Amino acid sequence: MDITKTDIEGVVIIEPRIFKDERGYFFESFSQREFEEKVRKINFVQDNESMSSYGVMRGLHFQRPPFTQSKLVRCVKGRVLDVAVDIRKGSPTYGQHVAVELTEDNHRQFFVPRGFAHGFSVLSETAIFQYKCDNFYTPKADGGINIKDESLGIDWQIPMENAILSEKDIKHICLEDFDSPFDYNIDLYPEFER
């Protein structure tokens, strides 16, 4: 796998090595050993999949400590714009985001560390989206930043009048009203030795 660092430390784009021939293609979508050598120590415990139609926007989600999650995401059918927003208090990149297009053709994966809000918009007719999480889903720890928060400066590549949003996501507060439970100076991965 090839790793591309982004403007926000810890957020990376992963390009798998794809082997193609007349039969089709093959690639290793995840290797614990290689991920830990090139990105960070991790222990994924849950895999999720969603299917959405054009205009669906999901996010910006996170789980509060001590149930916070990292996510390794990819689009296996269709095309999405995937976004990670830094919500760690004291971070030099607080409130900034990284956006990357994930498609069934580019096979890219996007690593969203703990301390980030995550969301995506569906740019194709339909999209199947998969993600690995390093902590179990915990409903009481659910949190979010409003996906329509214009102060974030995210171009979702979908006109807002065409956006399909859940009632839950519409009710999330904007970043300026958010009291982050994440601290840039506190290790969000205490289970691993530095």
Active site residue: 97, 107, 118, 131, which one?
131
What b/e readout covers 155-173, taking b as 16+ CB neighbours within 10 angstroms? ebebeeeebebeeebeebe
Active site residue: 61, 107, 118, 172, which one?
61
Respond yes or no: is residue 61 known to be catalytic. Answer: yes
Contact criterion met (CB below 8 Å) for 139 and 98? no
Respond yes or no: is residue 131 known to be catalytic. Answer: yes
The whole-angstrom distance between residue 120's C-alpha and the CA centroid of its chain comes to 8
Contact criterion met (CB below 8 Å) for 166 and 172? no
Structure tokens at 166: 């859940």
Contact criterion met (CB below 8 Å) for 89 and 17? no
Contact criterion met (CB below 8 Å) for 47 and 129? no
Catalytic residues: 61, 131
